[in-house]
A = this chain, B = another copy of it.
Amino acid sequence: MTAKPPKNINIVPFVSVDNMMKLVLGVGVETFLRELADYIEADFRRWDLFDKTPRIASHSAEGVIELMPTSDGEVYGFKYVNGHPKNFREGLQTVTGFGVLSRVDNGYPVLLSEMTILTALRTAATSALAAKYLAPRGAGCMAIIGNGAQSEFQAMAFKALLGITKLRLYDIDPAAIEKCVRNLAGKGFEIVRCDSAETAVEGAQIITTVTADKQYATILTDNMVGSGIHINAVGGDCPGKTELHKDILLRSDIFVEYPPQTRVEGEIQQLPGDHPVTELWTVIAGEAVGRRDAGQTTLFDSVGFAIEDFSALRYVRDKVASTTFFDRLDMIADPNDPRDLFGMVLRADKAA
């Protein structure tokens, strides 16, 4: 009466933290970021296909837990992610996550993966992808203001995709700068440690802001940003958390992932709800212009969107398949007769 189900459909491949690290190193960090950016770029080109909904957030006094689902009609994916700025003071990650891909046609999961490391990689890959379309031609030097957990990923992605090899680093905590310098040693960068944000931006064609405080901050003021600069604003990514002075926004051409989400979470929460922005995907798909001229100030107001996580999970699924970097989880109940779930439970006694 029933067709034979696919074999082992009840077993879900799981990429642990340890296996994700081995996968990234096995592929090579720069290759991983380049290939991941290709997957994101491909999905941005078919943006219209996706189910899009702003993330579903559960806010508390100390942070937020979010679910970010999307689907391209064949594959469904979601990410679980938290954001707890105070975690840092307790020796915990501010942002952790995991994600799942499933088949739309039968609802069965096909991948469970850690996404703390993967989110850091996809955030950096998306920033570099945006800069590929928005940064001034021939940019070779980037300032990174905020040298926390995301900073080295940004540096590696900009090197992998744009060939950026000169970095100017600044953090309010000198130890963070040293950590960043140490981690990037031998990776082909020429690094200058700076003692202020003002110094860091000198001579940089790209400014990446990636600080961590959950508060309205002003990491960059208007006078610090010369014309022709591309700003990659990564740290302002939830309500109440911004990094740029409003005047910078007002004279920049602003590019965003998904306006309904960015207007709530991004730098542009400081602007009226109808302030003109360009959706990044339209630039990638050739429907809108990115950088027009050398004097233009461009701003990528990054908050992180579900489709990027979807692309990242797709990439990991494809990449991990030919490796041993995954475990097999017995996650989905699979009785021989689908109506006999109770019988399967009863028989577990005998199987044991």
Whether A65 touches B104, Cβ cut-off 8 Å, given contacts A73-B60, A183-B340, is yes
The 8 Å CB contact of A346, one of B53, B89, B106, B183, is: B183
Which DSSP category, helix, strand, loop or mixed, fits chain A's interface?
mixed
B179 adjacent to A337 (CB under 8 Å) = yes
Q: Does A96 contact B (CB under 8 A)?
A: yes
B24 adjacent to A345 (CB under 8 Å) = yes
From A128-136, A147-155, A245-253, A278-286, the one touching the partner chain is A147-155
Tell me the bound Cα distance from A270 to B267 in angstroms: 45
B183 adjacent to A348 (CB under 8 Å) = no
Tell me the bound Cα distance from A294 to B328 in angstroms: 54
The 8 Å CB contact of A345, one of B25, B58, B148, is: B25
Whether A82 touches B67, Cβ cut-off 8 Å, given contacts A90-B2, A342-B183, is no
The 8 Å CB contact of A331, one of B60, B98, B156, is: B98
Q: Does A92 contact B (CB under 8 A)?
A: yes
Chain A residues 101-160 with CB under 8 Å of chain B are 102, 104-109, 114, 116-117, 120, 147-153, 156
Whether A109 touches B104, Cβ cut-off 8 Å, given contacts A16-B330, A183-B343, A338-B149, is no
Tell me the bound Cα distance from A18 to B331 in angstroms: 9
B107 adjacent to A63 (CB under 8 Å) = yes
The 8 Å CB contact of A16, one of B88, B104, B331, is: B331
Whether A106 touches B84, Cβ cut-off 8 Å, given contacts A17-B330, A17-B331, A333-B93, is yes
Where the two chains meet, the residues of A that have a C-beta atom closer than 8 Å to any C-beta of B are 2-5, 9-10, 14, 16-18, 20-22, 24-25, 29, 51, 53, 56, 58, 60, 62-65, 67, 69, 71, 73, 76, 78, 80, 82-84, 87-94, 96, 98, 100, 102, 104-109, 114, 116-117, 120, 147-153, 156, 176, 179, 182-183, 329-346, 348-349, 352
B91 adjacent to A96 (CB under 8 Å) = no
Tell me the bound Cα distance from A341 to B92 in angstroms: 11
CB distance from A284 to the nearest CB of B (A): 24
The 8 Å CB contact of A76, one of B25, B58, B152, B334, is: B58
B88 adjacent to A338 (CB under 8 Å) = yes
B51 adjacent to A58 (CB under 8 Å) = yes
A-B contact pairs, 23 of them (CB 8 A): A2-B90, A2-B91, A10-B17, A14-B329, A17-B333, A17-B334, A21-B344, A25-B346, A25-B349, A56-B56, A60-B105, A62-B106, A63-B107, A65-B69, A67-B69, A92-B106, A93-B334, A96-B332, A148-B339, A149-B338, A153-B342, A179-B339, A183-B340
Which residues of B lie under 8 Å from residue A87 when comparing CB positions?
Answer: 106-107, 338
**Chain B, Cβ-Cβ closest to A10:** B17
Which residues of B lie under 8 Å from residue A334 when comparing CB positions?
Answer: 17, 92-93
**Chain B, Cβ-Cβ closest to A344:** B21
Tell me the bound Cα distance from A25 to B87 in angstroms: 39
Whether A88 touches B17, Cβ cut-off 8 Å, given contacts A80-B78, A98-B109, A108-B96, is no
Tell me the bound Cα distance from A60 to B102 in angstroms: 13
| Cβ-closest 9 pairs across A and B | A82-B107, A21-B348, A152-B342, A116-B333, A5-B91, A2-B91, A16-B330, A149-B341, A148-B339
Which residues of B lie under 8 Å from residue A56 when comparing CB positions?
Answer: 53, 56, 67, 69
